[in-house]
Structure 1
Amino acid sequence: MGTELHIGSDCEKVVVSPYPVKARSGRLRRTRTGSLIEAVPRPPSGRRREERLTSAARLALPLILFCAVLSAFGLSWWLPAAGSAALVATMWRLQARAAQPAALAVPRDPDSRVLWTAPERTAFEGALIASRRVRKTWPALAGMIDPVLADRSLTRALDELADVLSQRQELRRLRGELAAVREADIPADSPARSAVAAQCERAAELWREADSAVHRILGSIDTAARAGESFIRERQVAATARYAERTLARVTGAPAVAESGPELADRTEAVIAAYRDLAA
């Protein structure tokens, strides 16, 4: 994997690639978080053809007048005219594209993965949501983790998950095709039936391995998110307990008890262990 991971999603697919995700139609909104760049479709502008024609005419009119003034003074006008035509055409193309519903282009390079099936898309989008939860805990975990290393580990986990989900997607399709062949009207003693049965067993074995890997990666990301969130909540509780103790001591005149409030050593170890598992 490179230094960046690009992720795009629309209504029909999820694209995961080391290269920037492109739009087949419409426009995309890109958001960078560390080494992760997410691209989501922008809503269509809703501008009709008549409105786009009006905007183009408003831009073209002063440009035409400018070229006419140049011509009247005997100056060269054809180069400004060509530039003006190119400007109007560019604005028209951009507005027409913005009016279209956005859809991601399917990448051609072999390093990109495209998830089409609903279970795989749902699993990856769930991991992406969990990764956002993980990143939100980093400001409060300063001194416990290295944000740069944690960012690389988290991005690498998403990249590996995309690989495994892409394999599971292919296995899902293959298992369906093999199941249809097994149910065909073929004699029981046919060598073809035996060969298909062997391939079904192999596909089932690979499916179990891929499914186990998916759950392992999803579990590691979710564990890191829950460990960080739990640590932050307990630290907030500890701060509240210390504040309450000081307040009560001031009101009652009693001395404060040292070292009161929840101990966070165990939670600190849990957070560090969760990030070690994520990086493994």
Structure 2
Amino acid sequence: MSELFIGSDADKTVVSAYPLKTRTGRARRRRTGAVTEFLPVTPSGRSREVRVTFLARLSLPLLVVSAFMFAAGLPGWLIAGCTLVTLALAGWDDRRRAQRTTFEIPREPGARVLRTPEERAAYGRAVAVARRIRRTWPALPGMIDPETADRTLTHALDDLASLLVRRQEIRRLRAGLDGVRTTDVPADSPAALALTEQRERTEELWLASAEQANRILRSIDETALAGETFVREQRIGATARQAELALARLTAGPPPAESAPELADRTSVVLSAYRELAAAASLVA
């Protein structure tokens, strides 16, 4: 798995080895390493009436330009064609901006689609933690190979997508089996016994898939925590070294003279002498 493309709309999350396309609306790309996320763009909310008014206003300057082009000798069919194409493209783009983003399901083999809320939430959390891991790599030069680490992390996200697709299928099967009523059937009926056996096998698969998914999620979480902890330790160490240098600079050489107490003493002596002179002058008077 060299690259991974991930897109999530209101109904599903699509994971593919090939770039994704939008069926409606627009999406912007955010690439981190070998993983490219397609993020839905918020719809403009423009109604059909507003879009028609926009095209009507756009057609006025186009008509003026067309008149100048016709006066310059250009063929009328060419001018009309350019005008219609411009209006069609502007209307198409304005319409897509007003729509909610939905992704097409790739026809290429290997595309995974997550539709259940639980599996979508788990995968979205894993992708977010993977971004945290990648943000720690610039602070770990010489400790890890970013290319190898990126390939390993991308492969882990790919494995998790496949596992969660399998788990959502087990979830549906489990819900279907649990919904079958057996109250009116004898407990020793072959059908009831077969149903119980299938429920037990499904439960085993359910627990095994949960253990596998949790193992991948836990590994991703631990990797992010280890990297972020090390980065914080580096920052704390750098702060301590700066404080040590500042303290060494402040404690170097003799301490500054304490002139403030001397000034206070001199001021007290001067004021006492002034009071005595003032008292003597009053006695003479």
Q: TM range, normalised to the smaller chain?
A: 0.7 to 0.9
Instruction: Look up the match of 1:165.
Output: 164
* Residue 18 of structure 2 corresponds to residue 23 of structure 1: no
Instruction: Look up the match of 2:257.
Output: none
TM superposition shift of 1:50: 3.7
Superposed CA RMSD in Å reads 2.0
Against the structure 1 CA distance between its residues 181 and 253, is the aligned structure 2 distance closer, same or farther, given a 3 Å change threshold?
same
What 5-or-longer segments of structure 2 have no aligned partner?
A: 254-285
Once residues 24 and 75 of structure 1 are traced to their aligned partners in structure 2, the CA distance between those partners, rounded to angstroms, is 38
Is residue 14–residue 116 contact of structure 1 (8 Å, CA) maintained in 2? yes
Give the match's secondary structure for 1:228: helix
TM superposition shift of 1:73: 5.5
Q: Of the two, which has the highest radius of gyration?
A: 2
What 5-or-longer segments of structure 1 have no aligned partner?
A: 255-280
The one-letter code sitting in structure 2 at the alignment partner of 1:202 is R
Instruction: Look up the match of 2:239.
Output: 240
Is residue 52–residue 96 contact of structure 1 (8 Å, CA) maintained in 2? yes
Against the structure 1 CA distance between its residues 252 and 16, is the aligned structure 2 distance closer, same or farther, given a 3 Å change threshold?
same
Once residues 74 and 84 of structure 1 are traced to their aligned partners in structure 2, the CA distance between those partners, rounded to angstroms, is 16
TM-score by length of 2: 0.81
Instruction: Look up the match of 2:136.
Output: 137
Alignment of 1:34-45 (within 5 A): 34-45=33-44
The one-letter code sitting in structure 2 at the alignment partner of 1:203 is T
1:77-102, CA deviations, whole angstroms, 9 ceiling, x for partnerless residues? Answer: 21232122112111101101111122
TM superposition shift of 1:72: 4.5
1:39-75, CA deviations, whole angstroms, 9 ceiling, x for partnerless residues? Answer: 1211111333343234323433343334444444654
Q: Which moved more, 1:74-83 or 1:144-153?
A: 74-83
Is residue 182–residue 193 contact of structure 1 (8 Å, CA) maintained in 2? no
Instruction: Look up the match of 1:262.
Output: none
Once residues 75 and 116 of structure 1 are traced to their aligned partners in structure 2, the CA distance between those partners, rounded to angstroms, is 54
Is residue 43–residue 101 contact of structure 1 (8 Å, CA) maintained in 2? yes
Against the structure 1 CA distance between its residues 116 and 253, is the aligned structure 2 distance closer, same or farther, given a 3 Å change threshold?
same
The one-letter code sitting in structure 2 at the alignment partner of 1:231 is F
TM-score by length of 1: 0.83
The one-letter code sitting in structure 2 at the alignment partner of 1:79 is L
Q: Which moved more, 1:187-196 or 1:73-82?
A: 73-82
Once residues 245 and 106 of structure 2 are traced to their aligned partners in structure 1, the CA distance between those partners, rounded to angstroms, is 61
Once residues 39 and 74 of structure 1 are traced to their aligned partners in structure 2, the CA distance between those partners, rounded to angstroms, is 46
Against the structure 1 CA distance between its residues 71 and 129, is the aligned structure 2 distance closer, same or farther, given a 3 Å change threshold?
closer
